[in-house]
Amino acid sequence: MSDNVNHPAHYLAHPSGIEVIQITEHLNFCLGNAVKYILRADHKGKPIEDLNKARWYIEREITRRRQPPDPRPPLA
What residues make up the domain containing 19? 9-66
pLDDT band at residue 27 under the 50/70/90 scheme: very high
Question: Helix, strand, coil % (nearest 5) of the chain?
Answer: 55, 5, 45
Phi and psi (nearest 5°) for 7?
-145, 70
pTM score: 0.76
Task: Give domain status of residue 74, yes or no.
Answer: no
Q: 19 or 59: which carries more pLDDT confidence? A: 59
**What type of residue is 62?**
I
**Cβ-contact 31, 38 below 8 angstroms:** no
Domain count along the chain = 1
Task: Give domain status of residue 53, yes or no.
Answer: yes
Q: Which residues pair with 3 in a beta bridge?
A: 7
